[in-house]
Every structure is written in structure tokens, then in C-alpha cells.
Amino acid sequence: MIVAERKPMDEILEMLAGRKKVLVLGCGGCVTVCLTGGERQAEMLASQLKLAAAASGRKLQVDFDCITRQCEKEFFDNLSKFPADYDAVLSIACGAGVGYMSEQFPGTPILPGMNTTFLASNVAKGIWEEYCRGCGDCMLAWTGGICPIAKCSKSLVNGTCGGTDKGKCEVNPDMDCGWLLIYKRLESLGRLDEYRKMRPLRDHRKDRGNGIRRLVLAEMTEEESDNEQ
């Protein structure tokens, strides 16, 4: 899932400077699961903005709304408040939701209330940890299911850097060495031969080195085209 955390209030207030009517829009997807951008958080942020405006003697109308996902147009029909009726929409979805809504409502500023951080799994109550960097070239088959791009501070693909200290990373001593984790996993699986193989350099064109990435499912686009005819 995508993890995001709310921007500092000072930064949000700076973005909203000069606005008189604002919609705080939550998202019912990933940011609801990690308790940062759902309907409840949208309502709380709207209340905080009203209080901040009142404290500064400023008139500001703040409403809130929430839809299932801001990154899919089909859910826009569920909006109870129309974005074009506001001076700005403060979206507390991930960056994908903010970007997509900006395209769909070009006449209304869609402002990010969140910092999108990483792709994570819920490892314990209230704790989400990065497991994937979305590099576009998954190598988990030969690293025992542990991602060297996400779990190694240097994103190395051919083993440890040699700076490990008592199993911890030299970049961050609170972080386990990703390649030591991979070694132990492969050892437990009886597959250390995978560790000894040299892998080719990463093809960064599959990551962010070749422009915007896009997934096209031909069967779905063909079906849509047939329905329109």
C-alpha cells in the first residue's frame, strides 16, 4: 500500500494563504488504511483549519468530503461537494490522487496536504514499513523475497557494501543490513547459490529514467473501444 503523512500545518496554511473557501478532500484508499488521509482525518483537518483561521482573525470557509479513491474518475460521482465551487481543494490523498484530480479539475487548484513516502506493509499495529520502491524490475525471485532496492540504503544489487557493523547498516545504525537479511533468507532456503551469482546492472529505464511509466491492458482498452462503437 502507499503510505503518506500529513504536511506540517504551517506549510498547509501557507498554501492556503489568500483562499476564502476551501474543500478538504479525503481518500478512502491507502491513506485511510494508514490513518492519515481518510474521512475522519479530512474532518479533523477541516476543524483545525477553521480554528487556525479564527485565531488569526481571518474569514475562511472550510468544508470536507471523502471519496473511495481520488486516482479513479469513476468515484468522482460520489463527491458530495463539487471542487469547482471552491477557491482550492486541499487533497489528503497520495500524490497520484492530487495529480489526477488536477487534470480532471483544471480550473481549480488541487493542493497536496500530504507527503507521499513509500510502498509499505503493516508490520505491527500502527507501524508501516517500506517493502517496495516500485523500481519496475522486480528481483525478489533471486533475493529470497527481500527487496535490495528498498531494504538496502544504497540499493545495491550484487551483495553488501562491506560497511555492515554487527548486522546493522553503516548509513543508518537503526536499520538492519538488507543484504545480510537476504543472505540469511537464502541460507535458510538452501539457495545460497543465488547470492553468489553476479547480476547485470539495473536498467533504470524501467524505473524513472525513461519518462512517465504507464500500464496498458490491451484487452480492457479493446473492450472499451467495442462498447463505444
pLDDT, tens digit (0-9, with 9 covering 90-100), for 9-56: 999 999 999 999 999 999 999 999 999 999 999 999 999 999 999 999
- Residue 209 clears pLDDT 80, i.e. is over it: no
Give the residue carrying C-alpha cell 540469511: 184
pLDDT in tens, 150-179: 999 999 999 989 899 999 999 999 999 999
3-state helix, strand, coil in the chain (%, to 5): 35, 20, 45
Among residues 64, 73, 75, which one has the least CA distance to residue 37? 64
| CATH numbers and ranges of domains, the chain | 2-118 (3.40.50), 135-201 (no CATH)
Q: What is the pTM of this model?
A: 0.85
If we measure between CA atoms, which residue out of 210, 206, 205, 198 comes closest to residue 157? 198
Asked whether the beta carbons of 14 and 111 are under 8 A apart, the reply is no
Long-range contacts of 6-12 (CB under 8 A, 24+ apart): 6/36, 6/37, 6/41, 6/45, 6/92, 6/113, 6/114, 6/115, 7/112, 7/113, 7/114, 7/115, 9/48, 9/52, 12/45, 12/49, 12/90, 12/113
pLDDT at 130: 93
Mean pLDDT of the region 186-191: 95
Torsions phi, psi of 156, nearest 5? -75, 150
How far, in Å, CA of 223 to CA of 192, rounded? 46
SS3 category, 220 = helix
Cell of 195: 547470492
